[in-house]
């Protein structure tokens, strides 16, 4: 699985993780799981209704990653943040 990231995702990722190494490791671990098995139950993958072709995975109970499929083996991470921030 190839993952591309938007400038918005990169900016938010940096802000979230610059002072929290534990969160950075947790996000990296979830992305690694996503690359190996996008349907892994711990990711709570689901399609977003009302948002054109967008999907969500959960990093933890409070943090989501929003993405779109570009190709079968390629996705584009659009946003990261709390439920209220990204929906």
Query: Could you report the per-residue pLDDT of 9-31, keeping only the tens digit for each?
Result: 999 999 999 989 999 999 999 99
Residue with tokens 């802000």: 15
| pLDDT surpasses 80 at 43 | yes
Asked whether the beta carbons of 49 and 56 are under 8 A apart, the reply is: no
The angle subtended at Cα 85 by Cα 13 and Cα 18, nearest 5°, is: 25
Tell me how far apart the alpha carbons of residues 26 and 62 are, in angstroms, rounded to a whole number. Answer: 12
What are the φ and ψ backbone dihedral angles of 4, each rounded to 5 degrees? Answer: -105, 150
Q: Which pTM value belongs to this model?
A: 0.93
* Domain 2-86: CATH superfamily, name plus number: RelE-like (3.30.2310.20)
């Amino acid at each position: 699985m190839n993952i591309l990231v938007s400038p918005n995702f990169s900016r938010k990722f940096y802000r979230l993780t610059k002072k929290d190494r534990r969160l950075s490791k947790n996000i990296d671990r979830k992305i690694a799981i996503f690359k190996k098995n996008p349907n892994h139950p711990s990711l709570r993958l689901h399609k977003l209704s009302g948002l054109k072709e967008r999907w969500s995975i959960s990093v933890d109970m409070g943090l989501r990653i929003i993405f779109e499929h570009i190709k079968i083996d390629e996705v584009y991470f659009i946003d990261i943040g709390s439920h209220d921030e990204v929906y």
